[in-house]
Amino acid sequence: MASIKQFQVTFDCAEPERVARFWCEVLGYVVPPPPKGFATWDDFARSLPPERRGAAFACIDPSGVGPRLFFQRVPEGKTVKNRLHLDVRVGTGLVGEERLAALEAECTRLVALGAVRVRLLLADGVNESCLTMQDVEGNEFCLD
């Protein structure tokens, strides 16, 4: 049997640190320590050529269970719907009004961080309710 591979999720974006810090707040992730030999990430950034400063940033699950999230600066802006998105699981096991209340509470918290509410998809007999949102750069994600 093949071994399970670790993976990271990579985001293309205009402002890597800003988007990474947003996702840290959403998921309870943290910024990893700076590379060996640097006291801070700012110290590390100053060691890079000017064109590489701010080009990438990452965040990690402090428990080590979830994947690393990596954010890289790209020159083009987002123009179409994501082909991949994250589902933030806040309503697992909940149904009906209890699920809607959990989704709405998390939506309120994330809007305060800069997210945008897109639409509520109500339960349809097959799927439970979920809330479509956008992060600080317009990338779609769901509260599920």
Q: Is 54 left (phi over 0), alpha (psi -120 to 50) or beta?
A: left
pLDDT in tens, 33-85: 999 999 999 999 999 999 889 999 999 999 999 999 999 999 888 888 787 88
Contact 133, 26 (CB under 8 A): no
Rounded distance, CA 20 to CA 11, Å?
Answer: 9
Report the alpha-carbon angle 77-82-87, nearest 5: 130
pLDDT in tens, 7-35: 899 999 999 999 999 999 999 999 999 99
Pairing of strands 8-13, 68-73: parallel
The pLDDT of residue 1: 63
Alpha helices in 1-93 (DSSP H): 16-27, 41-46
